[in-house]
Amino acid sequence: MNDLWRNLGYEPHAGQHEFHAADRRFKLLIAGARFGKSMASALEMLPEATAMRARGWIVAPSYALARPEYRYLRDALALGGLILGQAEGGRDGASRLHTRAGGELWALSAGRPEGLLGEELDWLLLCEAAHLDRQVFERYLRPRLGTRLGRLVAATTPRGSNWMHELFLRVAELGDWQRLRFATWDNPRIERQEIDSARQLLPPEVFDEQYGGEFTARAGRVYPEFNPALHVATLAAPPGSVIDRGIDFGFTSPTACLWLARDAQDRLLVLAELYRHGQVIEELAHEIAAIDTALAAPGCVAGRAYCDPAGAIQIASLRRHMLDAVAADNRLGGIDLVRAALRPRADGRPGLMVDRRCVNLLREFEGYRWAQSAGDAARPEKGNDHCLDALRYAVAGMTVTVGWQQGPRLC
């Protein structure tokens, strides 16, 4: 094997040597970017790929992400004259090759997991496994190894505290697993200046994840800037302020309504929340009006209600109850606007504060995370995000509004 590695130009550094020396059936390789995990994990499977009538898969969140590992194995087999036939799918389709020993190797995408059913495998290589869905691994991939007692290598850079972190913790007690974790700087070929430059640029939790190979819980959060010690206080409506609202409609799922105002330093204050299941819009309109009155302070006026744009019927009903309700513009990058508001200003205080009685909003802030399954664009997990949707509707509307809305006085 060492002679073949040398012919391929592969000289494992110390971290890669440690990975190859591990002798368990299942290996979990967690590493920072550019550690060299793609080449190491691919060439780790070379003995299996050359075995008689062995069947193996390389599975990644997309065909493109499976390409590096496939190329490393393909080139190694070609150098040994071991390829009988091959079909290249490129970045958009499955690639496969057959060996002279009667084996086969496939590079597949987990985008359609039902296509991963049916086969029994001698070996399985997962690429960027933290970006795979838990169900794909547990229901579609792990069972493929049972009949032939196949080997598994799962290699990835961390992605927050998701299911891969849970697996990393759980397998420490399992005798047939070996887990290894390395940082980018464990690869001596990466210039230290490059690492230091990234450290200066990136948020600490992202650097620790992408370069340190650490499972940082904050890196998976949609709003990693949120810190209860910084953003939560007991708040009151500033006298003379306009109090706007953000509303996310629901019935089986909850309707969430938030009340926001700006203080004298132009900071956004989330003053109150309404979180109701199973109420019709007429009942909600009365509750909203009652909270409007309860929040009244000298000179305050009721502003607009920036609402879920999918709720045209509900918006029309709110207008009949004398509320200035409009459809929020959902194209304005509301998540980015909220994140910007959460960041500290020059005086060390953030641009957005939340009243400690907004318990549902605070709960959602802590639990709102990016979806684990990969796709063309990052998307948050849907479900416990009703107050957060209402918040971004309001923040987007208040950000682009020119001047105060002169609505009916609350007092």
Total H helices, total E strands in the chain: 15, 15
Residue 361 burial by Cβ neighbours in a 10 Å radius (0-12, 13-18, 19+): buried
Q: How far apart are CA 169 and CA 215, in angstroms?
A: 11
Q: How far apart are CA 214 and CA 177, in angstroms?
A: 19
Of 403, 408, 404, 396, residue with least CA distance to 248: 396
Of 378, 156, 59, 113, residue with least CA distance to 167: 156
Would you place residue 202 in the very low, low, confident or very high pLDDT band (cuts 50, 70, 90)? confident
Task: Give the pLDDT confidence of 6-31 residue by residue, as tens digits.
Answer: 888 899 999 999 999 999 999 999 99
- The tokens describing 402, both together, are 């020119």
- The tokens describing 80, both together, are 């040994």
Of 364, 393, 398, 358, residue with least CA distance to 267: 398
Helices (H), 295-376: 312-320, 334-342, 359-367
Amino acid, single-letter form, for residue 312: A
Q: How many residues are listed for the chain in this entry?
A: 411
Query: Which of left, alpha, beta for 403 (phi over 0: left; psi -120 to 50: alpha)?
Result: left
Residues in CB range of 271: below 8 A, 6 or more apart: 235, 236, 237, 243, 259, 260, 261, 295, 355
Q: What SS3 class is residue 189?
A: coil
Q: How far apart are CA 327 and CA 315, in angstroms?
A: 7
Task: Give the pLDDT confidence of 206-221 residue by residue, as tens digits.
Answer: 899 999 999 876 556 7
Residues in CB range of 140: below 8 A, 6 or more apart: 110, 113, 114, 116, 117
DSSP 75-107: HHHHHTT-EEEEE--TTTS-EEEEETTS-EEEE
Residue 21 burial by Cβ neighbours in a 10 Å radius (0-12, 13-18, 19+): exposed
Radius of gyration of the chain (CA): 27
Read off the pLDDT of each residue in 122-136 and give the average, rounded to a whole number: 94
Strand order in the sheet with 83-87: 83-87, 95-99, 104-109, 55-60, 123-127, 151-156, 26-31, 177-182
Residues in CB range of 259: below 8 A, 6 or more apart: 243, 244, 245, 270, 271, 272, 273, 291, 292, 295
Residue 244: pLDDT above 90? yes
Instruction: Let me know: does 308 contact 389? Beta carbons within 8 Å.
Output: yes
Residue 404: pLDDT above 80? no
Q: Which residues pair with 108 in a beta bridge?
A: 59
- pLDDT (0 to 100) of residue 251: 80
Share above pLDDT 90 across residues of the chain, in percent, rounded to a whole number = 67
Instruction: Let me know: does 351 contact 340? Beta carbons within 8 Å.
Output: yes
- pLDDT (0 to 100) of residue 90: 87
Residue 266: pLDDT above 60? yes
- Determine phi and psi for 204, rounding to 5 degrees: -55, -40
Task: Give the pLDDT confidence of 336-378 residue by residue, as tens digits.
Answer: 899 999 999 989 899 999 999 999 999 898 778 877 544 444 5
Domains of the chain: 2-220 (3.40.50.300), 228-400 (3.30.420.280)
Q: How far apart are CA 355 and CA 272, in angstroms?
A: 7
- The tokens describing 83, both together, are 């390829």
- pLDDT (0 to 100) of residue 174: 83
